[in-house]
């Protein structure tokens, strides 16, 4: 098992680590302190935009989130923790495919399992909409996110070269979410 601090790791070790699975230990939340996950609303957007802007070099704009809130095939959710919005996920589900369009957790709330809870809500909603598989794309440098997705059962299915800002690859991932009885 590899437990690492990405801030202190030299670049040569970072490349080698990308070739192997990354396991991340997250503290387990006690049931009384689980985040409250609910549908995103227009009133949440100021807090959502702060998280988005601190998480991505080219963040979504307010209009992107407004579109997700209004779309009949989109299901955006926020996680409230300690009395404030701690993260969000934007899920699209149409026919047998669901896709994570955007997900982020506030920098000071990371490592608490909030991202995992948001993903579990996305699985639940996608199954309710009869999706059979879920897809997402993630920055090649997003090792913590990749580790979470692999721990949740996602498999790497491809790469989009130079997808982010024409400089960084996107890793394509999928998971079968169809319930078998």
Q: Sign (positive/negative) of CA torsion 143, 146, 147, 148? A: positive
If one compares 73 and 25, the residue with the highest pLDDT of the two is 73
When pLDDT is cut at 50, 70 and 90, the band that residue 34 belongs to is confident
Catalytic residues: 137, 149
Q: Does residue 109 lie within any of the structural domains?
A: yes
pLDDT at 23 (0 to 100): 44
CA-based nearest residue to 112, from 37, 5, 25 = 25
- The CATH code of the domain that includes 122 is 3.40.630.30
Model pTM?
A: 0.81
List the domain range (segments joined by +) for residue 133.
11-176
Q: pLDDT tens digit string along 41-94?
A: 999 999 999 999 999 999 999 999 999 999 999 999 999 998 999 999 999 999
Q: Does residue 5 lie within any of the structural domains?
A: no
């Amino acid at each position: 098992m590899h437990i690492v601090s990405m801030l202190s790791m030299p670049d040569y070790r970072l490349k080698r680590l990308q070739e192997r699975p990354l396991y991340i230990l997250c503290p387990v939340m006690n049931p009384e302190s689980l985040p409250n996950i609910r549908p995103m609303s227009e009133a949440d957007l100021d807090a959502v935009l702060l998280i988005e802007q601190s998480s991505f070099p080219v963040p979504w704009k307010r209009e992107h989130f407004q579109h997700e809130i209004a779309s009949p095939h989109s299901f955006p959710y926020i996680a409230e923790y300690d009395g404030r919005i701690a993260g969000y996920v934007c899920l699209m589900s149409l026919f047998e495919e669901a896709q994570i369009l955007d997900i982020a957790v506030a920098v000071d709330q990371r490592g608490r399992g909030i991202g995992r809870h948001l993903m579990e809500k996305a699985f639940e909603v996608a199954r309710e909409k009869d999706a059979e598989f879920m897809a997402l794309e993630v920055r090649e440098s997003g090792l913590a996110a990749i580790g979470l997705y692999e721990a949740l059962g996602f498999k790497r299915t491809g790469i989009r070269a130079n997808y982010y800002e024409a400089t960084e690859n996107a890793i394509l991932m999928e998971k079968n979410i169809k319930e078998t009885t």
